[in-house]
Amino acid sequence: MGVFGDQWTLLIIRDLMFKGKKHYGEFSDPAEGIATNILSDRLARLVSDGIIKKDRDPSHGARFVYRLSEKGKDLLPVMLAIVEWSAKYDANTETPPAFLEKLRRDPAALKTEILQALA
Amino acid sequence: MGVFGDQWTLLIIRDLMFKGKKHYGEFSDPAEGIATNILSDRLARLVSDGIIKKDRDPSHGARFVYRLSEKGKDLLPVMLAIVEWSAKYDANTETPPAFLEKLRRDPAALKTEILQALA
DNA sequence: CTGTATCCTTAGGGATACTG
DNA sequence: CAGTATCCCTAAGGATACAG
């Protein structure tokens, strides 16, 4: 349950799941507002919880690729439920309208689409 | 989004939604492990976020009843998704098997049942 | 660049006292 | 009992230096 009790963790999962982010530098983008030490800590925690996997990037030498494990991908329903709720009530939610449209029109299709992108 | 970033908040919502808890004393049950000052703070925050309502209990004098607002009830899909994920991966989740059974067999029915209980 | 460790301050929160 | 406020300390985390 500790996964949901932390906003940074949720942000990272969201970025992995919906924004195609994979690299340290993308998560530590200033717009996210997460300090590098915290990012480091949360990534390590997520790895140790088995929610993400950390693998060497074959193309770039000293770089790692972070990806959701199966356990992590199984969080998709949770994340989508949050997205939906936030879109309804959170004024400043920046979810693209096209995404919401799809989510409501055919959630199953959207899910497989996202999982495909994560594979 | 701040709602999901706090474990105590989530616990309170869960208690309201699934355990039929309504009163201060029930939330502050030692088993929950939440300090009274934190409880007070989180309840106030939830009220100010419009997720719960705080009303006088007509039967008892100085007592309040806390209930989910519509906005709060709309968190049901999120909470159920969390329950399901936790049941799958979190070893020490104490969700009753009967509940999970229902959730998988006929989620829609379970939802209306819960909403009925909250009404 | 990618990622971790250190420093230091502030806020979260436990224990508990207090008010009605 | 229901609920809030105070005290105090630990830990989360921002800024930044550091290592590869």
pLDDT in the model for residue B1: 67
Interface contact A75, partner B, CB < 8 A: yes
Domain boundaries, chain B: 7-70, 75-118
Tell me the average pLDDT of chain A. Answer: 94
Nucleotides on chain C that have an atom closer than 7 A to a protein CB are 1-7, 13-17, 20
Q: Do B4 and A1 touch (CB under 8 A)?
A: no
Give pLDDT, residue A61. Answer: 74
d(CA A97, CA B56): 40
Q: CB neighbours of A40 closer than 8 A, spacing ≥ 6?
A: none
Cβ-proximal residues to A11 (8 Å cutoff; 6+ apart), any chain: A32, A34
Minimum CA–C1' distance nucleotide for A35: D14
pLDDT on residue A1: 67
Q: Judge whether A39 and A27 are in contact, CB under 8 Å.
A: yes
Q: What is the distance between the alpha carbons of residues B24 and A15, in angstroms, rounded to a whole number?
A: 37
Q: What is the pLDDT of residues A34-51, one digit of tens each?
A: 999 999 999 999 999 999
Which pTM was predicted? Answer: 0.94
CATH topology of domain A7-70: Arc Repressor Mutant, subunit A (1.10.10)
**Partner residue facing A81 (CB), from B10, B78, B89:** B78
- pLDDT interval class at A90 (50, 70, 90): confident
Q: Tell which wins on pLDDT, A2 or B19.
A: B19
What is the full per-residue pLDDT of chain B (119 aa) written as tens digits? 678 999 999 999 999 999 999 999 999 998 889 999 999 999 999 999 999 999 998 888 788 999 999 999 999 999 999 999 999 998 778 899 999 999 999 999 999 999 999 99
The residue whose two tokens read 């942000």 is: A11
